[in-house]
């Protein structure tokens, strides 16, 4: 799962909850980065704002009413756009709810490539992933956590997130390949490393879901990634070397 909104739609604050209780799939808590390249034109900014507004409306309604009690008509009414506009952006309400996480997943490779070339790969990977989850350094309230569990417990949402995780792994593998000079198409290393990183974050998120009382997500993600890095750094014993094919 993953997270960010840009410009006007960057944060989704749940009604009648603390201002900090925003879902991790919709905020990174950071301002737009002027060094990320040229800003999109006015038309593209408007389309992006509409996409994010629809996604924010879908997520808000799902937390308020329950996922199955939300219709596309409800979403467009909340976002104040025409019904046909929704169809220009999304095929379903589930896709709309996961849109920002999907957008962010596609950016994680670029985030890794923006890390300093002198930074060791393990630290660059950890920092790139942690940037992806900015805005989750404080625990959410019990009510917000209950809403999140209901939403992500839906089979349709789980299906969307499987697609997002696959996109994130591919983007990360491509960036690892570029950074290390390896080809993900012929060398398994970038995909293996990217897959391990994504798996570590998912283990951390499952632990976060189960935490009672709620805990902040960001430190759990960092702990999981550092444990992975430590495990990969352990020397291989002579017995293990002999048993290798």
pLDDT digits (tens, 9 = 90+) for 194-228: 999 999 999 999 999 989 899 999 999 999 999 99
In whole numbers, what is the pLDDT of the chain averaged over residues? 81
Please tell me which of 40-54, 68-82, 132-146 the model is most confident about, judged by mean pLDDT: 68-82
- The Cα 223–Cα 209 span in angstroms is 16
Higher pLDDT, 43 or 23: 43
| Residue, of 180 and 141, whose pLDDT is higher | 180
Other beta carbons within 10 angstroms of residue 188's beta carbon come to 11
CATH of domain 7-232: 1.10.357.10
For 153-177, the pLDDT digits (tens) are: 888 898 998 999 999 999 999 999 9
Give residue 42's pLDDT band: very low, low, confident or very high (50, 70, 90): confident
User: Alpha helix (H) ranges present in 115-237?
Assistant: 121-132, 142-152, 155-180, 189-210, 217-233
Please report, for the chain, the start and end positions of each structural domain, with discontinuous segments joined by +.
7-232
Cα–Cα distance, 88 to 41 (Å, whole number): 19
Q: Could you check whether the bond before residue 2 is cis, i.e. omega within 30 degrees of 0?
A: no
Q: Write down the pLDDT at residue 235.
A: 59
Instruction: Please give the Cα distance from 155 to 84 (Å, whole number).
Output: 26
């Amino acid at each position: 799962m993953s997270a960010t909104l840009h410009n006007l739609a960057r944060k989704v604050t749940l009604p009648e909850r603390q201002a900090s209780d925003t879902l991790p799939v919709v905020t990174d808590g950071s301002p737009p980065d002027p060094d990320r390249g040229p800003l999109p034109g006015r038309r593209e900014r408007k389309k992006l704002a509409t996409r994010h507004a629809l996604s924010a409306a879908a997520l808000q309604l799902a937390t308020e009413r329950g996922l199955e009690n939300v219709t596309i008509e409800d979403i467009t009414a909340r976002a104040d756009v025409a019904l046909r506009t929704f169809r220009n952006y999304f095929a379903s309400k589930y896709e709309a709810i996961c849109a920002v996480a999907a957008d962010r997943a596609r950016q994680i490779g670029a985030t890794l490539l923006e890390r300093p070339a002198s930074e060791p790969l393990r630290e660059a990977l950890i920092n790139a992933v942690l940037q992806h989850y900015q805005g989750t350094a404080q625990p959410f309230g019990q009510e917000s956590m209950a809403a999140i569990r209901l939403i992500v417990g839906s089979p349709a949402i789980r299906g969307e997130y499987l697609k997002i995780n696959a996109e994130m792994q591919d983007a990360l593998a491509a960036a690892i390949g570029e950074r290390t000079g390896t080809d993900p198409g012929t060398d398994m290393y970038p995909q293996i490393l990217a897959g391990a990183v994504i798996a570590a974050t998912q283990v951390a998120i499952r632990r976060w879901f189960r935490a009672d009382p709620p805990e902040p997500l960001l430190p759990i993600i960092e702990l999981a990634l550092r444990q992975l890095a430590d495990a990969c750094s352990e020397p291989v014993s002579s017995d293990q070397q002999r048993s290798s094919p």
